[in-house]
A and B are shown apart, each in its own frame.
Chain A
């Protein structure tokens, strides 16, 4: 009898709560868009929980600082933060990169797609190049990573993919036509993945944050229900653990968006939302 057929030793026990569907003691995650905002906060929290996390983003210096800041917390729980420079719009690189990182981590249980850009768009600006750049990151990126992870997670019948979308995808507001479009498309894409994969033990979680205090919302007027990135991150992980499929962060946005979604279009355009 070869070793691969021998009885498995029980997995080491970890004290932090585990993600739904993930075996005890197996905590390996990727966070895309990890250099700032919710992505960085998620890396910090996962590291504290004993995850081995690969933080991916474009900015190497930010990643290095993040890894350094997490080192002590991670060491205390047996976690680890690794970093990798990657631009999610470089979709061709994704399959090989996923393979490489899974080998490095020795498996994969959780992927968070937190990469996203929202350049400022003027009231009557119609700049195609600028808009398509947003599509490359927010949409092409999530499709490339979503597809790669879907195949991998399906094959092992296990895994959680969290996509950070936005309340902006719920309606076509005046303010950010293409940002909202990328998030609406992401919602539909993630819903389809969920419907394809839930039967195969794979969880797809759509997170719709409202206003989170990050670089993206800095200098914006009229913010309300503002939460910190740390608070948002902890609510996101909580939502994933509770088995949520779509979750507004913070949760009171569900009430507001349910009302807003029900406003007929002819009225909606008269309101300054």
Chain B
């Protein structure tokens, strides 16, 4: 009944499969295997139909890494068993479809928390590995891959390879962040964070300029467990880059008098109502009314001033889920960008080495304002390098910008992004494909170290000689 080769199986459906930002999507047959064996069967289905296969977790990448203009999509979400947890070492072992949400809900009552949390709790472990995602603590703990000890990879020939930093070390470092081009992750062993409370100590630091924000984060990063900066991209002149830093720190043992209570999952749940009265499912409709330059200028202004008040009020405690999963507060908030006819949003997130970052981001902010493409949300984070082949991580910063996409602005917006890309690449910057829909093949070739892409392509040819695995991202960057 569940064999993906069987057309009537629930393991198979025909759907519109889109990037999270809704700006790109296609109709595909989706296969949902539940075991290593069924992953192999899904490979066979694609192979026999003569079409390629694209790997997908929860589809949380903004652009096209889990999209394909033709062929089948292998969706990992049904392969979602948590296999093992050792409280002594804090090491958890999961199937690759296990989401960040499942992980934290499982770990928290046991006094642990995922090492790396994205701004949303929906990504799967497999997707997190394929894109090598990071959180607001990247500068401290590294990327998802940095905290992974071992993975199983189902190669296109059906063989399962167990990889870690010693066994199949090249495959380990190439497949993590490898955009799902070498095989399907089926299992992973990961480190977790020991915590002594379900709450985290948070404080807001209002900053009047980009330089002040960056200096503050540099100064705090030796001590803080999490640091993230929000920037009002509408502000100009001597207020360019003004914003609000959130710093968060784990509570030491004994500080929380009743950790059993705060570590309950129910204690963590995000509020079902906004301001106590609006059901949160409907809030995107209110945001929709503000989803234009004037409305967002106002929202950003209001947020900046609220941040100044927040700083004056001092620190406060927040649940881990409340602090980490900001993007999940308002369900489907992306619909405020329009939800029909390839409307939506893209995120543009350049990573720039520490020395050049301030000048590059200043130039980008000014250019956005000049071109009339002001990001409705700007997020600044600090990063550190990691050893993965196609990594975006570096000793520097990232600045994430959200842009609204409409059928009418698409061409101009892409042009604007290309213009920004020139500035970023000239300064030695890099990009992150979970957040990209605009890079051209020549851009990718420029930011990887000499020969790195060729080395990856050679490994892919060896493991996937028939080119079974592909995606629109891979096609775009010259796979």
- With contact pairs A6-B411, A7-B410, A93-B8 given, residues A157 and B13 touching in the complex (Cβ less than 8 Å): no
- With contact pairs A23-B341, A157-B339 given, residues A5 and B24 touching in the complex (Cβ less than 8 Å): yes
Q: Are A199 and B281 in contact (CB under 8 A)?
A: yes
Q: What are 18 A-B residue pairs whose CB atoms fall within 8 Å in the complex?
A: A1-B414, A1-B440, A4-B26, A4-B69, A7-B408, A7-B410, A7-B411, A8-B342, A23-B341, A96-B7, A98-B14, A99-B14, A99-B29, A102-B14, A102-B27, A151-B13, A151-B15, A155-B16
Residues of A within 8 A of B26 (CB): 4
CA distance A92 to B27 in the complex (A): 22
Residues of A within 8 A of B332 (CB): 199
Residues of B within 8 A of A158 (CB): 340
**B129 within 8 A of partner (CB):** no
Q: Are A5 and B410 in contact (CB under 8 A)?
A: yes
Distance (Å) between the CB of B335 and the closest chain A CB? Answer: 8
**Count, A-B residue pairs, CB within 8 A:** 65
Closest to B415 in A: A1
Closest to B332 in A: A199
**A95 within 8 A of partner (CB):** yes
**A156 within 8 A of partner (CB):** yes
CB contact list, B431-471 vs A, under 8 A:
437-438, 440
Q: Are A95 and B15 in contact (CB under 8 A)?
A: no
Q: Among B339, B414, B438, B472, point to the contact of A4 (Cβ < 8 A).
A: B472
Interface size on B, residues (CB 8 A): 30
Residues of B within 8 A of A102 (CB): 14, 27
Residues of B within 8 A of A107 (CB): 27
The 4 closest A-B pairs by CB, nearest first: A99-B14, A96-B7, A155-B15, A156-B16
Q: Are B7 and A95 in contact (CB under 8 A)?
A: yes
Q: Are A95 and B13 in contact (CB under 8 A)?
A: yes
CA distance A1 to B476 in the complex (A): 8
Residues of A within 8 A of B8 (CB): 92-96
**A201 within 8 A of partner (CB):** yes
**A2 within 8 A of partner (CB):** yes
CA distance A156 to B14 in the complex (A): 11
- With contact pairs A95-B7, A156-B16 given, residues A201 and B475 touching in the complex (Cβ less than 8 Å): no
Distance (Å) between the CB of B56 and the closest chain A CB? Answer: 12
**B254 within 8 A of partner (CB):** no
Distance (Å) between the CB of B196 and the closest chain A CB? Answer: 39
Q: Are A23 and B414 in contact (CB under 8 A)?
A: no
Residues of A within 8 A of B17 (CB): 155
CA distance A95 to B15 in the complex (A): 11
CA distance A180 to B7 in the complex (A): 33
Distance (Å) between the CB of A204 and the closest chain B CB? Answer: 18
CB contact list, A79-120 vs B, under 8 A:
92-96, 98-99, 102-103, 107
Apart from A2-B476, A7-B408, A7-B411, what 9 extra A-B contacts exist at CB < 8 Å?
Answer: A4-B472, A5-B410, A5-B437, A8-B342, A103-B27, A107-B27, A155-B17, A157-B16, A157-B340
Distance (Å) between the CB of B226 and the closest chain A CB? Answer: 32
**A152 within 8 A of partner (CB):** yes
- With contact pairs A92-B8, A158-B340 given, residues A4 and B24 touching in the complex (Cβ less than 8 Å): yes
Dominant SS at the A interface? helix
Q: Could you say which of B15, B332, B437 has the most chain A C-beta atoms within 10 Å of its C-beta?
A: B15
Residues of B within 8 A of A155 (CB): 15-17
Residues of B within 8 A of A199 (CB): 281, 332
Residues of B within 8 A of A157 (CB): 16, 339-340
CA distance A102 to B15 in the complex (A): 10
The contact string, 1 if C-beta is below 8 Å from chain A, for chain B 13-40, is: 1111100000010110100000000000
**B12 within 8 A of partner (CB):** yes
The bracket for how many chain A residues form the interface is 20 to 34
**B50 within 8 A of partner (CB):** no
Distance (Å) between the CB of B417 and the closest chain A CB? Answer: 10
Distance (Å) between the CB of B52 and the closest chain A CB? Answer: 15
Closest to A151 in B: B13
Distance (Å) between the CB of B75 and the closest chain A CB? Answer: 11
Q: Are B414 and A95 in contact (CB under 8 A)?
A: no
Closest to B23 in A: A5
Residues of A within 8 A of B408 (CB): 7
CB contact list, B310-352 vs A, under 8 A:
332, 339-342
CA distance A5 to B413 in the complex (A): 11
CA distance A4 to B475 in the complex (A): 12
- With contact pairs A1-B440, A6-B411 given, residues A95 and B12 touching in the complex (Cβ less than 8 Å): yes
Distance (Å) between the CB of A47 and the closest chain B CB? Answer: 24
Q: Could you say which of A7, A92, A94, A103 has the most chain B C-beta atoms within 10 Å of its C-beta?
A: A7
Q: Among A2, A95, A201, point to the contact of B339 (Cβ < 8 A).
A: A201
Distance (Å) between the CB of B408 and the closest chain A CB? Answer: 8
Distance (Å) between the CB of B479 and the closest chain A CB? Answer: 12
CB contact list, A141-192 vs B, under 8 A:
151-152, 155-158
- With contact pairs A23-B341, A158-B340, A201-B339 given, residues A5 and B414 touching in the complex (Cβ less than 8 Å): yes
- With contact pairs A7-B411, A157-B340 given, residues A152 and B14 touching in the complex (Cβ less than 8 Å): yes
CA distance A156 to B25 in the complex (A): 9
CA distance A8 to B341 in the complex (A): 9
**B276 within 8 A of partner (CB):** no
Distance (Å) between the CB of B25 and the closest chain A CB? Answer: 8
CA distance A113 to B475 in the complex (A): 40
- With contact pairs A2-B476, A92-B8 given, residues A8 and B407 touching in the complex (Cβ less than 8 Å): yes
CA distance A99 to B414 in the complex (A): 33
Residues of A within 8 A of B13 (CB): 95, 99, 151-152
CA distance A102 to B29 in the complex (A): 11
Closest to A26 in B: B341
Distance (Å) between the CB of A156 and the closest chain B CB? Answer: 4
Residues of A within 8 A of B281 (CB): 199
Residues of B within 8 A of A99 (CB): 7, 13-14, 29
Q: Are A152 and B340 in contact (CB under 8 A)?
A: no
Q: Are A95 and B14 in contact (CB under 8 A)?
A: yes
CA distance A157 to B339 in the complex (A): 8
Residues of A within 8 A of B472 (CB): 2, 4
CA distance A199 to B414 in the complex (A): 30
Residues of A within 8 A of B339 (CB): 157, 201
CA distance A81 to B445 in the complex (A): 50
Distance (Å) between the CB of A197 and the closest chain B CB? Answer: 13
Distance (Å) between the CB of A144 and the closest chain B CB? Answer: 10
The contact string, 1 if C-beta is below 8 Å from chain B, for chain A 193-205, is: 0000001010000
Q: Among B27, B29, B475, point to the contact of A2 (Cβ < 8 A).
A: B475
